[in-house]
Each structure stands twice: as C-alpha cells, then as structure tokens.
Structure 1
Amino acid sequence: MSIDLSDEQKAFTQAVDDFCRREAGTREQRGDGPHHPGLYRKMADLGWLGVTVPEQFGGSGAGMLDTCLFLERVGYGQAPVGGFTTSAIVAAAVERSGTDEQKKTVLGGLVNGRVYSIAMSEPEAGSDVANLSCRAVATDDGWVINGQKTWISNAHIADAILLVARTGGSPGDHHGLTMLLIPADATGLSIKGIETMGGKEVNDVYFTDVRVPTDAVVGAVDKGWQQLMAGLNVERLILAALMLGTAQRAFDDALDFIRQRKQFGRPVGSFQALRHRIADLATEIECCRLLVHRVATLVDRDPAKVLPRESSMVKLKTTEVARQVALAGMQMMGGYGYATEYDMERHVRATLVSTIYGGTSEIQRDIIGKTYGL
C-alpha cells in the first residue's frame, strides 16, 4: 500500500488476507449467497466484527481507518459476509444516538456476530428520503407501525431492523422522521425477498400494525433526518472501502489473466491497448485508495464533524471506478470474463449495483455541487 500504516494495522490486514485465502478462497467455500453465517461467526470469534465498536461494548475501539482497512481486505478476499456492512451502519447510528441499553444490545450484538438491517427506501421514496410515508403512530405504551419498505438489504438475515418512519408531518417534510429499532420477529412484520442478479440480498418489508414499546425509539422523536445526516460519513466510507477492495481484486484477476492468455503468439497483456488500459485502471484505483484513507483519517480526527462533500466524493469516485475496472476486466478477458468459471462476472455484478445503493452516483454529484453553492 502507498499509505503508511502502523505495524498493528499491517498485521491486521495480513491476518484478514490470510483468513480470506484459507476460508473463502474457493467458490465452494464461499457458497452461493452474499452472506455466509459460518464465516461471519468465525470473524466474530476473532474479534474483527467489533473493529470500530468501543471497548466498553466488547469491541476493539479502533477508528474509521481500521474499519476501512478491514472492509478493503474483505472485499479483496471476496469473503461472503455481506451482513457486516448494514450491521456496521446500524451500530454506528445507535452509538451516536441510542440509549445505553440500545448500545449494549446492538453494539454488543455486532461484536458477537448478529446482523442488523436499516430500512429507509420505499416504493415512492428512494433518493427522495423526505418523501417517506411508512408511519409510526404513538400509543399509550409505544408505537404502532404501518407501511412498506423496499430494497432493504439483509432484512431476511437480520436480528433487528433500524426503521426510519414518519412520526410527524407529511411526505416531503424532512421534519417528522424517527428511527425505531424493530425486532425482526415482531408480530405483523413480514419480509419478502426481491430476486436480483446479485442473489438474495434485498427485500420488501411490510409493517402491518407492528407494535413496539416507547423505548424502541433511537435518538429523538421527529429528529431522524438530522441523525441520518450525521451518519453520512460512516455509511459512505463503508461502501467505498468495500468497493476499493473489490476493484483491486478485479484488477488483479484481469492482470493475472492477460499475463497468461496468449494470442498471436504472445501474452495479450503485452499489446499496447491492454497495457495502457492497465496503467489507467491502476492509477484510478490508487487515487481511490488515497481518497478512502484520507476521508477516513478526517473522520477519525473529528468523528462528530459531518463531511458532506468528502463523503459523497469518496462514495462516488470509488464505486464508479470499481464498476469501470470490473467492466474493463470482463472486456480484456473476453468470453472468459463472462463465464462463471472465473470471478470476473461476480465482480461485475457486485460493482454495478454499488453506484446505486447508499445514494446513487447522480445524488452524490448533486450533493457535491451544492457544497460549492450551486
């Protein structure tokens, strides 16, 4: 790496690399889906899932840079622990805004291998989060929730779902949104998977008179929007770091292939067209690495500071480059890049959707433009 890391960080990344090679080095080990409970449990036993969780809740208390290093190596090693990303996002939200009891439950749960999901998007509210209509109505002893969420990652494997619901105002208002922690087995909650090219990842989640107690609220009632904005740094860095590792893996897989594949009597990588393409992709990946590490360092320097420009830049740049690398890798490998015998088609599927979830590239560009007064 071009970034100076401490000896402890170097040892950590090496340990994650070794684990991924040993435990997830083949398709048979990885299985068919994006989340392998057995591998996830092994990582929990090693203490890695609590990389950013404070020590008082059983974690290692490391910073955002260490979390990004972990995710980068997990992405590179293709470890199927997709439940970690949403779990880490939920844990960060609870750490910022939750009660001591909620922190003990969720942060401690993540350390011990539990999975959490966050539910925001609705059929009529994707990028336009303020248009949410799923509603939680206050009762004498808690809340009653009705509505639908869609494209909810990992809801089908989650122990609990962090719901963003409307508790006041009307669709279109940023005011009146509230975060509530909902047990995945709550009466009236149903989860239906959405078939995608990436497998079993996302779901429709239906709430029909779901009842939760008053203390299900995370943070303050009607202040969910502000709490969401405070979590942008973490969410976008998590997604960017994972795609940085995926981009590097796609690059290395393509490079290994074109070094060996021969046409016209020599390796195809020796032709100028591919040699120049490799040079451009390598440069783009290195730019992404510098950006991820830079933004993570800024977050560690002042965790309370929201970085709308930098967090949008890191998500935009890294996911777009990851998609570019994977598609270029498929092109350079020809038909082999499209074949399931190789991992490139998997890299393509993973990177294509990365420019959509967590805020589309178009939304990131719009946010960045607004930070310049436009």
Structure 2
Amino acid sequence: MSAVMTEERRAFVNAVREFSARECGTREQRNALTEGGTSTHSPAIAAKLADLGWLGLTIPEEYGGSGGGLFDACLFVEEMSYGRLPIPSYPVTLIVANSYRKFAPEAIKHEVLGGVARGAVESIAMSEPGSGSDVASLTCRAERVDGGYRINGQKTWCSNAHHADHILLVARTSSEGAKHQGITMFSIPAGTPGLKMNQIDTMGGREVNDLYFTDCFVPEDRLVGAEGQGWAQLIAGLNIERVIIGALYLGIARRAFDDTLAYIKEREQFGKPIGKFQALAHRIADLATEITATELLVHDVARRVDENPEQLLPREASMAKLKASELSKQVSLEGMQMMGGYGYATEYDMESLVRASLVSTIVGGTSEVQRDIIAKTYGL
C-alpha cells in the first residue's frame, strides 16, 4: 500500500475485499450472477454496491454521492478488479461520469450522476470503424435542426452500451478548421429512436457494441458542454481515464500474482513445491517488484490529480496506464506458464485473467499511443 493510505482507507479496502470474497469469490458464484458467464455485468451486485454507497464514491454529495477523489476511486476499482466483481462497466461509468460532472447542465447532472450513485451504467461512443487511435478523425455527424440535432453515423467498440442508461456521444457538428475542431458531446438516453445497437462477440464475451445512428433526433438540452468544444472536453478527462484504467489492470495483475503464488506453493514435482525451484522463485521476485512499483506509480498519479484536479498530467497518466496494462498481461501470461496445463484449464481462474488482460494494451489508448504521448512530453 502506498504512503497516502489512511486507516480509514485501509478499512475500506478490506471491506471491499471481504465483500468480493463473500459474494463472488468462486467461479460458481460468478456464473450464477452472470447467466452462466454469458453476461459480463451483474445488476444484483451493482445494486448491493450502490446500497453500500461505494458506487457513488466520486459523485458530488448534491447528486447522491460521497464526494471522494480519484485516489478513493482507484482503490475501489483496483479491489473490485482483484476480487473479480462482475461489474466491468464501472470503470467506464466512472470515466464518463467525470465528463458529465465537469460539463453537463444541472438537469443532466442530477439525472446521470444520481443514477451512477444508484448503480446505473454509463457508456461513451468515440471510436468509429475509420477512427480508432485517431479519434479526432471521426465522421459521425450531428446536424442542427429545429429544437436540437439530427445524428447520422456509426460508432464502434462502445463498452457496456447495452447495459447503459445513456450514451455520451462524441460527434462532429462542423467540418470547418482542423480535425480537432467542430467536435461536440451529447447525452443520448438509451432507447432513443434512430439508435440501433449490435453487440460484438469478443474473446472476453459481449462487452462492446456497434452503434448505428439513423436520423436520430437529440434535443438541444442534451448537449454536454459547449458546441464545438468536445475535443478539449475529452482532453480534460484524460487524467481520470488513464489512471482509472491503470487501477483496473493493477488489480488484475495482483490477482494473477496471488493465484500463481498460491499454486506454486502447493503444487509438488520432483519431491518439493515447484515454487522452491529458483527458475520460478526468481520470476515471482521480479513480478512482485514490478507490482509494487506499479502500485506506487498509479497511486501517486491519483494523489497528484486530487491535489490539483485541473492540472493535466499527460506524461504521468500515460505512464500509469502503460505500466499497469503491460504488467497485467505479463503477470497473467507468466502465471499461466508457471501453472502449466492448469493455467489453461477453466478449473482455475488464470485463463480468464489472461483473457481479461490481453486487451489491456489496446483499450483506452494503445501502448504505442501512450509511448508516443510520453515521448512528446520530452520534446521528441
């Protein structure tokens, strides 16, 4: 645990850990909560967490939350990830809620942020078939009409949109000027006419979606922030996004490490536990060191954001996301190797941790994009 941990925060982390172990500590429990593992999100678990007040950690008190900071959110995300809580939509919901908190009109804040505190899911639609890492090249169009906007276009890779109460849409309202200009955000309620959604099958299950907008009308009062300022609004949320993702994959890395360690202490070959062999013992030592360093990095960036929420930390936030995502992949793959065939079998959780971690270096900006950002902060 990092130096900014207080006794109150330690007690909170322990409470989340105990809840996770009690409610979904086994694969059988998680399968029962997710329709045999075919769904990724459990409304029942989300409702219990909301009743405990944990889903409103970073929601201001006037909207039904407890007004905590990014560090508190990271602790929760890290522990829910470690404990395999079936609410993978929550990190994205947190990221989206930050944009609503900063830029949405009061009516939408009460609607959306209050819902988050009560367990609602939120989603964001940025990527398109032709604009992934180059988000600013998006072409989904929002045209001004009487009383609002008419939207046409496609979005893809929209996480948990099929569970969401609203979609935070990033669309183009003008083609004049540079590609970063003329981008605008809208809050679109689920079920709005003209919005069609198809789930995408992935190795991690049905977590992401294609969205199709066909003459989809959005009233003017669903505008989030100022027209044409969507890119600046996205940039303002990058600290939150990348640090939250860092916490998410730090939790997976820790879980893969602990599961591996437990296995190699028990599994015997050649007359002794396989963890006693230097080849595995040294791997464990290296992974433990990397996890501790990554934890310190993620926690430190979260603390710095809390101290100065308006300060952009492109270098540090990208470092946290890069390091934690790369580490989660490394630890889970190393864990599978050390566990041998059992690491590949569904009898153990390691194979699911591998599947969960493989996408870590793609979502929220690829590792290559993060390295580009870090390099640019050094004048390269």
Paired position in structure 2 for 1:371:
377
Paired position in structure 1 for 2:34:
none
1:198-277 map, 5 Å = 198-277=204-283
Paired position in structure 2 for 1:76:
82
Paired position in structure 1 for 2:16:
16
Paired position in structure 1 for 2:96:
90
Runs of 4+ in 1 over 4 A off after TM superposition: none
Asked if the contact 2:142/2:151 (under 8 Å) is kept, the reply is yes
The CA distance in 2 between the partners of 1:9 and 1:173, in whole Å, is 43
2:202 is paired with a residue whose SS is coil
Asked if the contact 1:130/1:172 (under 8 Å) is kept, the reply is no
2:55 is paired with a residue whose SS is helix
The CA distance in 2 between the partners of 1:300 and 1:148, in whole Å, is 36
Asked if the contact 2:322/2:367 (under 8 Å) is kept, the reply is yes
The CA distance in 2 between the partners of 1:82 and 1:314, in whole Å, is 19
The CA distance in 2 between the partners of 1:371 and 1:168, in whole Å, is 30
TM-score (norm 2): 0.97
Alpha-carbon offset, residue 4 of structure 1: 4.3
Alpha-carbon offset, residue 3 of structure 1: 3.2
Alpha-carbon offset, residue 149 of structure 1: 0.4
Alpha-carbon offset, residue 7 of structure 1: 1.7
The CA distance in 2 between the partners of 1:200 and 1:369, in whole Å, is 35
Asked if the contact 1:119/1:152 (under 8 Å) is kept, the reply is yes
Paired position in structure 2 for 1:300:
306
Alpha-carbon offset, residue 35 of structure 1: 1.2
Paired position in structure 2 for 1:137:
143
The CA distance in 1 between the partners of 2:118 and 2:347, in whole Å, is 35
The CA distance in 2 between the partners of 1:245 and 1:69, in whole Å, is 9
2:232 is paired with a residue whose SS is helix
The CA distance in 2 between the partners of 1:59 and 1:198, in whole Å, is 31
The CA distance in 1 between the partners of 2:53 and 2:116, in whole Å, is 10
Consecutive unaligned residues of structure 2, counting only runs of 5 or more, are 32-36
Equivalent of 2:289, from 283, 291, 295?
Answer: 283
The CA distance in 1 between the partners of 2:50 and 2:80, in whole Å, is 14
The amino acid across from 1:181 in the alignment is S
Asked if the contact 1:180/1:216 (under 8 Å) is kept, the reply is yes
Alpha-carbon offset, residue 89 of structure 1: 1.1
Equivalent of 2:158, from 152, 157, 177?
Answer: 152
2:180 is paired with a residue whose SS is coil
Alpha-carbon offset, residue 26 of structure 1: 1.3
The amino acid across from 2:312 in the alignment is V
Asked if the contact 1:133/1:171 (under 8 Å) is kept, the reply is no
Deviations 1:245-270 (A, max 9, x none): 11000000000000011111111100
Alpha-carbon offset, residue 144 of structure 1: 0.4
The amino acid across from 1:18 in the alignment is E
The CA distance in 1 between the partners of 2:2 and 2:167, in whole Å, is 38
Alpha-carbon offset, residue 34 of structure 1: 2.4
Equivalent of 1:119, from 118, 125, 134?
Answer: 125
Consecutive unaligned residues of structure 1, counting only runs of 5 or more, are none
Deviations 1:173-230 (A, max 9, x none): 0001100000110001111011000001001010011101001110010110000000
The CA distance in 1 between the partners of 2:229 and 2:300, in whole Å, is 30
The CA distance in 2 between the partners of 1:255 and 1:147, in whole Å, is 49
Deviations 1:285-344 (A, max 9, x none): 001100011000000000111111111000000000111000000000001000011000
Paired position in structure 2 for 1:35:
41
Asked if the contact 1:132/1:171 (under 8 Å) is kept, the reply is no
Asked if the contact 2:2/2:299 (under 8 Å) is kept, the reply is no
The CA distance in 2 between the partners of 1:63 and 1:94, in whole Å, is 15
Asked if the contact 2:170/2:186 (under 8 Å) is kept, the reply is yes
Q: Are 2:184 and 1:178 equivalent residues in the alignment? A: yes
1:37-76 map, 5 Å = 37-76=43-82
Alpha-carbon offset, residue 275 of structure 1: 0.4
Distance 1:171 1:146, change over 3 A: farther
2:131 is paired with a residue whose SS is coil
The CA distance in 1 between the partners of 2:307 and 2:290, in whole Å, is 26
1:202 is paired with a residue whose SS is strand
The CA distance in 2 between the partners of 1:308 and 1:98, in whole Å, is 24
Asked if the contact 1:236/1:312 (under 8 Å) is kept, the reply is yes
Q: Are 2:134 and 1:128 equivalent residues in the alignment? A: yes
TM-score (norm 1): 0.98
RMSD (CA atoms):
1.1
Bigger drift between 132-141 and 162-171 goes to 162-171
The CA distance in 2 between the partners of 1:204 and 1:191, in whole Å, is 6
The CA distance in 2 between the partners of 1:7 and 1:102, in whole Å, is 36
The CA distance in 2 between the partners of 1:171 and 1:184, in whole Å, is 32
The amino acid across from 1:7 in the alignment is E
Equivalent of 2:105, from 95, 99, 107?
Answer: 99
Alpha-carbon offset, residue 8 of structure 1: 1.3
